[in-house]
Amino acid sequence: MQHITLDINRYQRMLQQAATLGAHIAMQHAGLPVREYYTRTEMQRKHGRGIISRLIAEGKLTPHKITDDEHTRIVYSETEFLQQII
């Protein structure tokens, strides 16, 4: 069995991300309005350009196409992102 050591900052970040994912999913199940999809630029501003670019390149964050009356946009799922980074 391989042992992984975590420094305190990484451990705190992982706990915060897990709590965010849990809250996001709980709000969805409760029927509360939760924004699920963001453009790539919005995701990069929110979570960091390097992380988003790496997850997209690795195929762990997949694009979704959303079409409204006037536009078609490529967006990314916040839940999918949160599941990948924990």
What percent of the chain lies above the pLDDT cut of 70? 97
Q: 45-64 pLDDT, tens per residue?
A: 988 999 999 999 999 999 99
pLDDT of the residue at 42: 94
Q: How large is the average pLDDT for residues 1-14?
A: 79
Q: 9-28 pLDDT, tens per residue?
A: 888 888 888 898 899 889 98
Indicate if the pLDDT at residue 70 is higher than 90.
no
33-54 in b/e form (b: 16+ CB < 10 A) is eeeebbebeebbeebeeebbee
